[in-house]
Structure 1
Amino acid sequence: MVWHCTRCYGHIQRGNFWCKTRWENRRNSAVLKAWAAACTAATSSRIYVPKGRYLLRSAEFRGPCKNKIRVQIDGTLVAPLDHRALGNSDYWILFIQVNWLSVVGGNLDAKGAGLWACKASGQTCPTGARSITFNWVNNGEIKGLTSINSQLMHIVINSCKNVKVSNVKMIAPDLSPNTDGIHVQSSTGVTIINALIKTGDDCISIGPGTRC
């Protein structure tokens, strides 16, 4: 089942939700409405992001859901240029308490340069946001994703079981602070395969409570 929306304001037709226009409203209502529809569907669902560039503010996708969900991204999600828009939220894209979740393909551009410059200048700055976070996700997958210019860590796997990360790319300048490629903590059964990581901090960092 693919959730399809022709104008990104919640028109659902034949169990589909597919945003063809812009996700540029302040409340991210299109993508959040797509998530709500997919999460409550009785059968496996897919949320599709077509080719193009889409502004996305911090967004929380919360479960538990009733089915398997695949988020297929063929376009690029772009954070607001003003680093303060994400800087105090701790996350940009957060999936929490969702089982059998797949995030496949796409590009994330977190526009982290503004925050790095703020920190380098010695000013009082926001903490920063992680680009994509899995919290309490079991049997999850991140595949074919490219993340650039993360404010903080690119990918975070926290308190998860059986998550596979494969064919991903994470890129940020050498001097970008705290931009770990993949951070894993309090998780078991995490597999990382074919990751290209060129970033300013650890390529892969392992936090406490992590087991094979």
Structure 2
Amino acid sequence: MLCLLPFIADAHIKLFNVAEYGAIADGKEDNSVAFLKAWSDACKWNGSATVLIPKGTYMLKSVIFKGPCNDSITFQIKGVLKAPIDPSLLTDQKWINFRYIDQLNVNGGGTLDGQGSATRRKCKNNANCEILFTTMDFDFITNGHVQNLHSIDSKGGHFIVFGCENMTFTDLTLKSPEHNRNTDGIKIAQTNGINITSVKIGTGDDCVAMISGTKNAWISNVVCGPGHGISVGSLGKNDGETDVEDIVVKNCTFVGTSNGLRIKTWAAPLKKTLNASNFVYEDIVMNSVQNPIVIDQQYCPLHQCDLKEISHVQISNVTYRNIRGSSETDIAVNFNCSKDKPCQKITLDNINLWRYGVRGKGRPLLRNNCFKVEGASYGKQTPPSCIAHRATPLST
């Protein structure tokens, strides 16, 4: 009886190699059908399953890998997946989409090539040419783990996470040309429990963006640059948005980014107050960052807003602790809060920022701006804080 146990265990572990389903690694042939057949069989398998993409280059049109599956499932990318240059071969603004799956693992050390630069050249003189397709979307995933992948030259965002629970992203490299707009690294919405660690992101938009409904996020050991920083928001433009709460950003480095730590909300006539609260930014290094610490409650990137409107997002309980490094501009901390909902319980603890390229005795001090901010600062404050200094921290 004991001799049968290994055989029984192995019977519930199955490998589904896309090459055995007819996938061709020539970088030209569309492999969507082969990939979807392999996924379908793996998802139905009565046990843990792995869909294997072996080494080689595989072109792939838009695909939806849908659950629920019978057990945990791994999508293992050893090779290179290429998106088509022609955006008409993609649908629904998504390239690779995982939906409604519990216990999903995506890994393998391979590469996702969005071919975004080639698509932008193709679309340059065509106003009807769609560009902003996300490389990989995760919709309604529970207990997901995305690890050891490279995503390059995305058309739009690299990864979008929506409606998920308990997701981890680790050991990733995400790269897009700095001039390619709207190429967010990881964008998160309506998700509870996300862990992003040991990730390198260089892109033309936010390295990490947390929008409506993001809760319980832990972001650590992220290197961001180029890009627009790690952002909460934008928030507060549309009715139906939900609160953003309990965010920790720790041990991260920003290199040559337009922003570092940013919270951005629209001045818009919402029907109810939206809350952005309980954030901790700690042990952060800024290297030649244009706007190291920003709260902007009049966010309006195209400058086409009604300046009479005010933001109805309440920002509260935000701590900045042990932030150091250099700024490309003369402003280190810029808090522009809402007239109607002033920022509350904002804490600055040991801030040491200087003008890039000018360090040492006699260097000119930066300055801070504060508008409608309630809180306290303590510890070292370089430049001097525009929030009242106290001997001990505020209780949170």
TM class by smaller structure: 0.7 to 0.9
Deviation at 1:204, TM superposition (A): 0.4
Distance across 2 between alignment mates of 1:6 and 1:176: 34
Is 1:45 aligned to 2:49, yes or no?
yes
Residue of structure 2 in register with 1:156 after alignment: 160
Residue of structure 2 in register with 1:98 after alignment: 101
Residue of structure 1 in register with 2:69 after alignment: 65
Deviation at 1:29, TM superposition (A): 1.3
- Do the aligned residues in 2 keep the contact of 1:72 with 1:104 (CA within 8 Å)? yes
Residue of structure 1 in register with 2:201 after alignment: 197
Distance across 1 between alignment mates of 2:130 and 2:16: 35
In the TM superposition, 1:25-36 aligns within 5 A as 26=30, 28-36=32-40
Deviation at 1:32, TM superposition (A): 0.3
**Residues 45-84 of structure 1: per-residue CA shift (max 9 Å, x gap):** 0111111111111110011111100111110001112233
3-state secondary structure, aligned to 1:96: strand
Deviation at 1:115, TM superposition (A): 3.7
**Residues 173-209 of structure 1: per-residue CA shift (max 9 Å, x gap):** 1110100000011001100001100101110001101
- Do the aligned residues in 1 keep the contact of 2:64 with 2:96 (CA within 8 Å)? yes
Residue of structure 2 in register with 1:2 after alignment: 15
Over 3 Å counting, the alpha-carbon distance change for 1:89 and 1:98 in structure 2 is same
Is 1:179 aligned to 2:190, yes or no?
no
Which is greater in Rg? 2
In the TM superposition, 1:53-132 aligns within 5 A as 53-86=57-90, 88-105=91-108, 106-117=110-121, 121=125, 123-132=127-136
Over 3 Å counting, the alpha-carbon distance change for 1:50 and 1:202 in structure 2 is same
- Do the aligned residues in 2 keep the contact of 1:83 with 1:111 (CA within 8 Å)? no
Over 3 Å counting, the alpha-carbon distance change for 1:121 and 1:144 in structure 2 is same
Aligned length: 202
Q: TM-score, normalised by structure 1?
A: 0.88
Deviation at 1:119, TM superposition (A): 6.1
Between Structure 1 and Structure 2, which shows a larger proportion of strand residues? 2
Over 3 Å counting, the alpha-carbon distance change for 1:6 and 1:124 in structure 2 is closer
Deviation at 1:156, TM superposition (A): 0.8
- Do the aligned residues in 2 keep the contact of 1:158 with 1:187 (CA within 8 Å)? yes
**Greater relative contact order, per chain length (Cα 8 Å cut-off, separation 6+):** 1
**Residues 75-128 of structure 1: per-residue CA shift (max 9 Å, x gap):** 000111223322x42100000001100000310001111443366547232152
3-state secondary structure, aligned to 1:123: coil
Over 3 Å counting, the alpha-carbon distance change for 1:125 and 1:43 in structure 2 is same
Distance across 1 between alignment mates of 2:29 and 2:112: 18
Is 1:147 aligned to 2:151, yes or no?
yes
3-state secondary structure, aligned to 1:136: strand
**Residues 122-146 of structure 1: per-residue CA shift (max 9 Å, x gap):** 7232152100010000000110111
3-state secondary structure, aligned to 2:196: strand
- Do the aligned residues in 2 keep the contact of 1:181 with 1:197 (CA within 8 Å)? yes
Q: TM-score, normalised by structure 2?
A: 0.48
Deviation at 1:42, TM superposition (A): 0.4
Distance across 1 between alignment mates of 2:92 and 2:201: 25
